[in-house]
Chain A
Amino acid sequence: MPAPRPLDPAAVGDHIDRLYRAAWALCGTREDAEDLVQETYARVLAKPRLLTHDDDVGYLVQALRNTFRSQLRTASRRPRTEAFEQDAEPVDRRSATRPDEAVAAREVFDRIASLPEAFRDVLVAVDVAGLSYGETAALVGAKEATVTSRLYRARARVARDLAPGMDRGPAGVLERG
């Protein structure tokens, strides 16, 4: 077992993009993703943390996933409120210059978020957060072979869900028809 070491608070901000993308893929909306990342960092930074492996990202993704599941449990006990429609968001200056790309990214994350939990968590861990199959297996409590199987199926479902109205371009990238 590697020697335990404290998590360096100054370094956790280096992984914010990966955490944000993983949160977006879990929640399905950017607004909820921001809230989830904020809550995760608040918990992680609340006190010194002991890590027993070299990878900070694995620890942070685990914290993100646990916080997400905790939020789901809490939300299920509260009265439900309707969220604003995505279309009602203020125009983002960056996406306004590349509307097709922005819509594609949003749709992909939305589809990932709508996958069954077992598929979604594996795809988020491996493809979005960049964890290894071994780290993901430990994270979700499954064998690596199961992770592989679920990952392939999750990718296939995302592609099929996004297929209506889209065609495959010459480089294999889906484009609007």
Chain B
Amino acid sequence: MSFADDIALDPEDRADAQRGAVLVAAAIADPEARAPARLREDIEARRAAAHALGRRRRPRWAGALAGLAAAAIAAVLLVVAGPGGSGDPSGPSVAAIARVAALPTSGPAPRPAASTDPFGDPSLAVRVGPVAFPDWEAEFDWSASGVRRSVVGGRDVTTVSYRNPRGVVAGYAIVDGPPLARGAGRVVTLGTTTFVLSTTPGRRTVTWVERERTCVLDAPAAVPVRTLLRLASSRVT
């Protein structure tokens, strides 16, 4: 950037900075800077509409489990678990998928998918079965930067790479076919979705199952766990 951030302020600049702070404080204390009533009403209506839409989206069988789900979403469990679960033991390992997810992508950046639902999750025009890759640009500032298709252990694996403004790249792989056996790692449960966090030298991986497809998000260890979890859980229901 062109700004000389490290140049010390001279006394005149310092006085201006103090005046500026006073001006800003006065502006935000002005009653005019409070949100208008119509905006408050609009937000409340959106909150109610989003809640109602979420209820309509639930499958019928979920109605009986609504109480349990509501309780579960408030309870986030952190445990350490070994490999296992009810996944396909004959499929490739999650670790193998993570290694593929970390490879450079070769195809161009996928475009956003057309959407008619204003409350829908932004998605890319790339999908594996029923699962579309998310578009994280608006919400998280991670832009899709490439795509690659591979075959691992007889399974089709599609990887989309995402890049943040600092140039850090994460790989999001979705494995076609039935869910894989769960890898070892720390388990985080949010709502009805279980995430497994694992680490290898220099890398972090989070794995979960979405609509019967195994999803693996792999990133350099420099990406904080909370960021990785926030990305992975962006479509949790």
Contact = CB atoms under 8 A, between A and B. Distances in A.
B5 A47 contact: no
A67 B44 CA distance: 19
A79 interface: no
A4 B28 contact: no
A37 B35 contact: yes
B44 to A, nearest CB: 7
B19 interface: yes
B190 A141 contact: no
Contact of A146 (B5, B19, B40): B5
B121 interface: yes
Given A21-B28, A24-B33, A173 B22 contact: yes
Given A3-B76, A38-B42, A156-B13, A13 B47 contact: yes
B35 A94 contact: no
A168 interface: yes
A162 B190 CA distance: 49
Contacts of B235: 47
B132 to A, nearest CB: 14
Interface string B47-74: 1001100100000000000000000011
Given A152-B13, A156-B13, A48 B73 contact: yes
B138 A123 contact: no
Given A13-B44, A102-B30, A152-B9, A160 B16 contact: yes
B73 A16 contact: no
Contacts of A168: 19
Interface in B1-44: 1, 3, 5-6, 9, 13-14, 16-28, 30-36, 38-40, 42-44
B138 A158 contact: no
A34 B16 CA distance: 30
A13 B20 contact: no
Interface in B100-151: 118-121, 137-141
A69 interface: yes
A70 interface: yes
Interface residues of B, number: 66
A41 interface: yes
A61 interface: no
Q: Most chain-B CB neighbours within 10 Å: which of A98, A116, A154, A156? A: A156
Nearest to A129: B28
A10 B43 CA distance: 11
Nearest to A70: B138
Given A66-B139, A173-B23, A37 B43 contact: yes
A140 B23 CA distance: 23
Interface string B165-194: 110000000000000000000001011000
A126 to B, nearest CB: 10
B39 A34 contact: yes
Interface string A21-40: 10010000010001001100
A43 B206 CA distance: 24
B223 interface: no
The 3 closest A-B pairs by CB, nearest first: A155-B20, A52-B226, A156-B16
Interface of B: 1, 3, 5-6, 9, 13-14, 16-28, 30-36, 38-40, 42-44, 46-47, 50-51, 54, 73-74, 76, 78, 118-121, 137-141, 165-166, 188, 190-191, 224-226, 229-230, 233-237
Given A12-B47, A94-B32, 8 more contacts: A3-B78, A37-B43, A41-B47, A50-B236, A67-B138, A104-B23, A104-B27, A159-B19
